[in-house]
């Protein structure tokens, strides 16, 4: 039985004016984090193009999907890295909007949010992995969740799925309940499983090392996957926090 490891991290976009926590001071710590854990999949959010270039140059064991080209300088990509031993059969980049294949925003979203979907082949088995970043308000989150469902309808339901990202919502929010249940208010949800158990860990810390918000960075899954372990990686690397979010990691048996 093949073990699959996934690490998800909101990188904190590199153009932010973060003073001593700016990208140039953190980037080596992020490489050490990724190389130290060497997961099969690395799911990142808020990646500016120059951050992608840096990581690609320093992670030779990985390929990636999710880059918009051409893209505005400020663009924040959802980049999904995967180990070179894994085959990507197809990938789909789409917007969480009413027009998912056109750069756009809908449902009251503040920003044009996106998702990166890959169909992978591992040891003769198929696996779907999605990297996404939801907006802040419930209507936008629910609209985004339904767009995910619509895009997933293109694939057989028996293919195992891992959904990762920064959802800007806690388990108390409607979109979390919808994603993790069979049905809510007469609307069929995705019935995904949760990696963590209550009390849920905080994952945003604002470079303080102490959670300042609830559990907003999720790894959800469904299908023939057995959860082996999950953890929030709270320790700094050489005294440096890799991001204003804690990395989240899960290991599954496929």
> pLDDT value at position 1?
65
Confidence category of residue 16, pLDDT binned at 50, 70, 90: very high
Q: Which residue segment(s) compose the domain that 196 sits in?
A: 3-253
More confident residue, 2 or 18: 18
Residues 101-149 pLDDT 10s = 999 999 999 999 999 999 999 989 999 999 999 999 999 999 999 999 9
pLDDT digits (tens, 9 = 90+) for 212-252: 989 999 999 999 999 999 999 999 999 999 999 999 999 99
Going by pLDDT thresholds of 50, 70 and 90, the confidence category of residue 65 is very high
Give the rounded percent of residues in the chain with a pLDDT score beyond 90.
Answer: 93
**Count of H helices and E strands in the chain?**
4, 14
pLDDT at residue 186 greater than cutoff 90: no
- Look up the CATH number of the domain holding residue 174: 3.60.10.10
- Sheet with 217-222, side-by-side order of all strands: 87-95, 114-122, 125-133, 161-166, 217-222, 193-194
pLDDT at 40 over 60: yes
Nearest to 168 by CA among 148, 193, 140, 194: 140
Q: How many separate domains does the chain show? A: 1
Neighbouring C-alpha atoms within 13 Å toward the C-beta of 205: 22
Query: Cβ(103)–Cβ(114) under 8 Å?
Result: no
Give the helix, strand, coil percentages of the chain, each rounded to 5. Answer: 20, 35, 45
Most distant CA atoms of the chain, gap in Å:
50
Confidence of residue 185 (pLDDT cuts 50, 70, 90): low
184: pLDDT strictly greater than 60: no
Q: Which residues contact 180 (CB under 8 A, 6 or more apart)?
A: 189, 190, 191, 192, 193, 194, 220
Dist CA 53 CA 170 (whole Å): 32
* Mean per-residue pLDDT over the chain, rounded: 95
């Amino acid at each position: 039985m093949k073990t699959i490891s996934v690490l998800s991290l909101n990188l904190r976009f590199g153009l932010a004016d973060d003073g001593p926590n700016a990208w140039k001071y953190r980037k080596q710590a992020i490489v050490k984090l990724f190389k130290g854990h060497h997961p099969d999949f690395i799911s990142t959010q808020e990646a500016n193009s120059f951050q992608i270039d840096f990581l690609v140059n320093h992670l030779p064991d990985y390929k990636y999907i999710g880059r918009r080209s051409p893209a505005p300088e400020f663009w924040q990509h959802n980049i999904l890295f995967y180990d070179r031993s894994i085959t990507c059969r197809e990938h789909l980049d789409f917007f969480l909007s009413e027009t998912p294949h056109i750069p756009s925003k809908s449902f009251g979203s503040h920003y044009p949010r996106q998702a990166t979907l890959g169909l992978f082949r591992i040891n003769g088995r198929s696996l779907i992995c999605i990297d996404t970043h939801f907006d802040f308000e419930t209507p936008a989150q629910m609209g985004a969740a339904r767009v995910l469902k619509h895009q997933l309808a293109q694939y057989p339901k028996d293919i195992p799925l891992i959904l990762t990202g920064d959802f800007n919502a806690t388990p108390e929010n409607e979109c979390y309940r919808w994603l993790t249940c069979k049905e809510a208010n007469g609307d069929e949800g995705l019935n995904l499983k949760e990696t963590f158990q209550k009390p849920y860990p905080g994952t945003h810390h604002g470079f303080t090392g102490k959670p300042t918000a609830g559990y907003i960075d999720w790894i959800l899954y469904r299908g023939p996957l057995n959860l082996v372990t999950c953890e929030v990686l709270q320790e700094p690397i050489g005294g440096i926090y890799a991001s204003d979010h804690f990395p989240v990691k899960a290991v599954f048996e496929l």
